Amino acid sequence: MATAVNWTRRSVVAGMVGTPVLLLAACSGSGSGSKDSGASGGSSPAASKATVTVTPKDGATGVDMAAPVTVRVAQGTLESVTLTGSDGKQITGRLSADRTGWTSASPLASSAGYKVAAVTKDSAGTTATVSSAFTTGKPAKTFVGVYTPDDSVTVGVGMPVSINFNNAITNKAAVQKAITVTAEPPVEIVGHWFGDTRLDFRPQEYWKPGTKVTLTLALKDVEGAPGRYGTQAKVATFTIGRSQTSVADLGAKQLTVTRDGKVTQTFPISGGSPEHTTWAGKMVISEKLLQTRMDSRTVNLGGEYDIPDVPHAQRLTNSGTFIHGNYWSSGIFGSVNTSHGCVGLHDVQGASDPSTPAAQFYNSSIVGDVVQVINSGDRTVDPSNGLNGWNMDWSAWKAGSAV
């Protein structure tokens, strides 16, 4: 609703010899006010004929932050209008050509206080100021982004920043501009959208060991889709640890581990059978589980297996590819590929023997390390299947940016 003020009920000061003197007068919806004692010599002040209407009305709460603030004047013109937030920042606006209306042009913040001050002049040259205040409410529809990695962790050189939104984002440019990822030492970092709900960031090459990465989410009040606004204002930092990358050659059936440029481990492995080949390509370890249940029904393979205690499991794809320990098979490692798509290493039940190949590899790995599968007989994994954007060349990656 609007606040209308007729300045015949407000105190003003008439200009003398053509020079106006302004007196600030508080404005309320009731029209009550105070009288001034006069400009000089005891003369009575002239009353302004200008009537001001401010929308939203004075004292309003829960105001829609997306609705514009308007100031209208009758029987006069607007000399100036200021709209100031409780943080001291002024909101820009546009004055109409005839100077009888003003409309805010910048978005408001949610759950914030604002003050309006409008200076008017009537046909007699009498000036006056009206003040009004209101508070915005919370947006009815919101979105948040769940990000990985977590704050204050150390990760491998292949770890991207991945943000999954709980609602579809249609204004991708606005959302991406509100998210920054920076590194020390500096390196170019670019965002790439996988559909409408996921945005990943990475550099052109793997991170350098020791890099400090900072993610800033300035999503509060950013409109990600029509009428849906962000709520987050967060900063998270993580550190890149030593460089460890591994190559799982399913032709040679061997895993070769390289740390800081030197081969440190080799292990015999078994990969996907000809009927259930393993994805090829560069895959980032996204999760580590000392023991976990693996049920073929969860990956649309019927009832072929259900193992309740798979040891030393490290996730490579969202679709269910792991590199993990295997205690139920013998004579296959380094010899034959027999799995349903995972890469297996020799292990013992209970994950209790640190000397097994699976335990050694598990204990040497951290989330963010890269395992590259070659000679698997399958196509390259989809870059969106897990944290596996490294399977996209740099030009294609940059083409997926909205800014």
Q: 13: buried, middle or exposed (CB in 10 Å: 19+, 13-18, 0-12)?
A: buried
Instruction: Please give the structure tokens belonging to residue 168.
Output: 């579809």
CA-wise closest residue to 39 among 127, 98, 119: 127
Q: What are phi and psi of 263, to 5 degrees?
A: -70, 125
In the chain the first and final C-alpha atoms are separated, in Å, by: 38
CB 250 within 8 A of CB 281: no
DSSP notation for 207-245: PPTT-EEEEEEE-BT-EEETTEEE--EEEEEEEE-S-EE
- Virtual torsion, Cα 187, 193, 197, 201, nearest 10 deg: -10
Q: Alpha-carbon torsion 300, 305, 307, 308, what sign?
A: positive
Residue 234 to residue 263: CA distance in whole angstroms:
39
Q: What are phi and psi of 176, to 5 degrees?
A: -65, -35
- Virtual torsion, Cα 361, 365, 367, 371, nearest 10 deg: -60
CA-wise closest residue to 207 among 257, 154, 246: 154
Catalytic residue among 192, 340, 342, 346: 342
Q: Which SS3 state, helix, strand or coil, does residue 152 take?
A: coil
DSSP notation for 373-387: EES-SSPBPPTTTTT
Q: Which SS3 state, helix, strand or coil, does residue 268 take?
A: strand
Interior angle at CA 58, CA 57 and CA 60, nearest 5: 70
Radius of gyration, CA atoms only, the chain: 33
CB 324 within 8 A of CB 358: yes
Catalytic residue among 192, 312, 324, 340: 324
Catalytic residue flag (residue 342): yes
How does strand 161-165 pair with strand 198-202? Answer: antiparallel
Residue 150 to residue 138: CA distance in whole angstroms:
27
Catalytic residue positions? 324, 342
